[in-house]
Amino acid sequence: MIRPGATAWSALITGVLIYEALAPEGELMSETVDRALARHPVLIRAILALVWLHLANLLPKKIDPFHYLAKYARVNR
Number of domains in the chain: 2
Q: Are residues 1 and 35 in the same domain?
A: yes
Q: Are residues 3 and 27 in the same domain?
A: yes
Model confidence at 10, in pLDDT bands (50, 70, 90)?
very high
Say which range, 5-9, 50-54, 68-72, has the weakest mean pLDDT.
68-72
Contacts 24+ apart (CB under 8 A), 50-58: none
Q: Are residues 65 and 34 in the same domain?
A: no
Half-sphere exposure of 46 (CA within 13 A, CB side): 5
- Write out pLDDT tens, residues 18-36: 999 999 999 999 999 999 9
Q: Are residues 75 and 64 in the same domain?
A: yes
Q: Are residues 35 and 2 in the same domain?
A: yes
Parent domain of 33: 1-39
Q: Are residues 30 and 50 in the same domain?
A: no
